[in-house]
């Protein structure tokens, strides 16, 4: 009995491993791609004017919100190869919020 209690108490002492915070994103056309530092890549379909939803099929439970401020003037020519001017918010299961701006600026982190 003591061994069982000691085992259960040791399980409670195990650290909770939090999901990694996304380190970058790509928004092109109607597709949001979220990159995590552990190599996981998750995708979501986003409307041309933005939207919100849950990353379906992603091993890291996360919600996304995209607010498109302006479509990129190069988009008719280059399609999904360019990002619209948008604010992207990723909220993980623990409630941590990570915000990004698109398109990425050269030499600067896209987080804000």
The total of other beta-carbon atoms located within 10 Å of residue 34's CB is 24
Non-local (6+) Cβ contacts of 11 within 8 A are none
* Domain annotation covers residue 8: no
Is 107 a member of any domain? no
Q: Which of 58, 46, 40 is nearest to 89 (CA)?
A: 46
Q: Which range marks the domain in which residue 24 is found?
A: 18-102
Which ranges in 1-112 belong to alpha helices (H)? Answer: 2-12, 75-78
First CA to last CA distance, the chain: 53
Contact criterion met (CB below 8 Å) for 64 and 90: yes
Could you tell me the pTM of the whole model?
0.76
**Number of domains the chain contains:** 1
Please report whether residue 67 resides in a domain: yes
Tens place of pLDDT for every residue, the chain, 112 residues?
Answer: 566 545 545 555 555 556 788 999 999 988 999 999 999 999 999 988 899 999 989 999 899 999 999 988 888 888 888 889 999 999 998 999 999 999 877 555 555 5
């Amino acid at each position: 009995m003591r061994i069982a209690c000691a085992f259960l108490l040791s399980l409670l002492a195990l650290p909770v491993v939090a999901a990694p915070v996304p380190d970058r994103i790509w928004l092109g056309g109607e597709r949001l791609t979220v990159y995590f530092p552990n190599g996981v890549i998750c995708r979501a379909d986003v409307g041309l004017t933005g939207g919100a939803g849950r990353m379906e099929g992603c091993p890291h439970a996360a919600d996304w919100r995209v607010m498109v401020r302006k479509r990129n003037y190069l988009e008719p020519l280059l399609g999904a190869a360019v990002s619209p001017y948008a604010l992207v918010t990723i909220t993980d299961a623990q409630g941590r919020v990570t915000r990004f701006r698109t398109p990425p600026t050269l030499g600067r982190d896209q987080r804000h």
